Structure formats: structure tokens, C-alpha cells
Amino acid sequence: QAQLLESGGDLVQPGSSLRLSCKVSGFTLEYWSIGWFRQAPGKEREAVSCISSTDDSTYYRDSVKGRFTISRDNAKNTVYLQMNNLKPEDTAVYYCAADLGPPADWSQTDGYDYWGQGTQVTVSS
């Protein structure tokens, strides 16, 4: 049974850093692209970043470029999202999701087969 488990969310001040982890089980990570999404209260879920299964190509939404870095460790079955210089507008529940093979459109939620339960990130002074 495929499962994804996010961790690393916390309450932090603006300008701080966090590293989110997405631990997968029940499937071989190297064949799957992993996306990070977030959803703030009252807003739609939005794509944050993705790392491709084939060549580790990475994708980011414009508002996080230069601040967030996605990476994967297939040996540990884990994908990471390093978030630096966090801003209050980054506050949301962050989800990871798995898509078999390279992403057709990394930003579309319906392209992903499995989802985690989410981890809360709150950026506030």
C-alpha cells in the first residue's frame, strides 16, 4: 500500500528556515515524481515544487524560486523541501504527492496518484 508521510512543519518567524520531509513507502521512489503542494485556509491547493523521476528536473512556483529547494534521496525513500527566508504568505498545510513517471504537468493536482496527510507550516512574528 502506497503511503506518503510529511514531517517538519512548525511555527517559525519570518526569515526563518524549515526543511520538510516526505517519506514514502509501498513503492520505489526512483520511478516516481514527487510534488509539494500547499493549501492555506480559504484558498485552493496550489503547487509549490516538483522533482521529476527521470532526470531529477526540478520545478518551482514563481513566488518560491530562490527560496525553496526540492531534493530527493532514493536510498532513504525521502523527498525534501528546504524552505529559506520564509514569509507569512508561505503559511499553509503542505502536502507531498506522487506521480508515476515524469510529470505531464507538475502543477496540476489531478496528475498525482497518491497524497500525504499534510504538515502545518505557520510563519508569524
Distance, in Å, from the CA atom of 103 to the CA atom of 44, rounded to the nearest integer, reads 21
E strand map for 3-112: 3-7, 11-12, 18-25, 32-39, 46-51, 58-60, 68-73, 78-83, 92-100
Please list the residues that pair with 93 across neighbouring strands.
Answer: 39, 120
Name the band, by pLDDT with cuts 50, 70 and 90, for residue 58. very high
Distance from the Cα of residue 67 to its chain's centroid? 13
What's the rounded mean pLDDT across residues 96-106?
Answer: 92
Residue 78's contacts (CB-CB under 8 Å, 6 or more residues apart) are 21, 22, 23, 24, 29, 72
13-31 tens-digit pLDDT:
999 999 999 999 999 999 9
Q: Is the pLDDT of residue 83 over 90?
A: yes
Q: What pLDDT was estimated at residue 104? A: 86
How large a percentage of the chain has pLDDT more than 90?
94
